[in-house]
A = this chain, B = another copy of it.
Amino acid sequence: MITKDKKILIVGLGLMGGSYACALTDAGYEVGAVTRSQSSIDFALKKGIIRHGTSCVSKEYVEQFDILVFSLYPHTFIKWLEQYQGFIKGGAMLTDVTGVKCSVVDKVQDMLRPDLEFIGAHPMCGKETSGVEFASADIFNGANYIVTPTSKNTEKAIEDCEEIGRILGCRNISRLSTAEHDEMIGFLSQLTHCIAVSLMNCKDSKNLVRFTGDSFRDLTRIAHINETMWSELFIMNKTELLRQMDLFAGQFEKMRNAIENEDVDTLKQMMITSTQRRDFFNK
């Protein structure tokens, strides 16, 4: 139970951090923020989605908070902790929003002061835009929220971390190991982005726009992508992502060979399987 007297700090006030700020302020918590750009703080203050905030990290400011939500690129997150974890109040709970878990969670657990507790979380949502200007509590509506505890975590902190997901308005709150999370995200999210980007790189397809129907549009919607964030996420989940990519490449090759050899039985069987499986994913 996260009582309303708990003060929450958002570290990194972009699209996701800003959306946390919206939802947590709406829920009645005192929310502060530290972020690199003063204009993001000014914007968030003007919109009333934070109570206060600063672009200069100081012990005086940071030590007042009970819960810290890190909404930074993975490498920046680790660096921030290395530099500033001495500022954090003992007993505070730390969580994050990062889309890969094994490499981040282990590193953080290894370096963290023993009187602080970190639980990785991943709200599975986003937008094709970035920046606090686009922040909105709506992005959590119906989203999945995954908590990735390790043996270092207490049940109390895990439950608090899950409660944050409920306060945000997420639909499914799940617990996964970091390895299960990274396999799942490698397949469902990262592999699909690799496919969309590769497809869009095939040809200068501008002249095809007038013939394009929903199939191609659906498969490439996520090809509009933030290259800095996603290239970092791909490489941080490299082992698992390569495994998922090879799995897909194998099936694609199987289909290619079936077409080349006019092996109608294999083709049909793959289509029957895909049709049956896809039905489970209808909303």
Contacts and interface: CB of A to CB of B under 8 A. Distances in A.
Contact of A203 (B187, B218, B234, B245): B187
Given A219-B195, A252-B198, A212 B259 contact: no
14 contacts: A174-B211, A188-B211, A188-B212, A198-B248, A212-B281, A218-B219, A224-B278, A225-B274, A226-B271, A227-B275, A230-B267, A234-B259, A238-B259, A245-B252
The 5 closest A-B pairs by CB, nearest first: A227-B271, A200-B274, A223-B274, A198-B251, A231-B267
A221 interface: yes
A110 interface: no
Contact of A275 (B191, B209, B225, B277): B225
A157 interface: no
A230 B274 CA distance: 13
Given A193-B215, A195-B195, A268-B231, A200 B277 contact: yes
Contact of A274 (B143, B184, B224, B242): B224
B187 A223 contact: no
A206 interface: yes
Interface residues on A, range: 35 or more
B172 A210 contact: yes
Contacts of A205: 187, 277, 280-281
A224 B279 contact: yes
Nearest to A275: B224
A194 B275 CA distance: 13
Contact of A209 (B194, B220, B260, B280): B280
A228 interface: yes
A195 B220 CA distance: 12
A204 B277 contact: yes
Contacts of A196: 219, 274
A209 B197 CA distance: 23
A132 to B, nearest CB: 21
A184 B211 contact: yes
Nearest to A200: B274
A66 to B, nearest CB: 29
A193 B242 CA distance: 23
A256 B244 CA distance: 10
Interface string A167-206: 0000010100000000010011101111111111111111
Given A226-B271, A234-B267, A241-B259, 12 more contacts: A187-B208, A188-B211, A189-B215, A189-B216, A194-B252, A197-B271, A204-B277, A205-B281, A216-B281, A217-B283, A224-B275, A227-B272
A213 interface: yes
Nearest to A231: B267
Contacts of A262: 235, 238
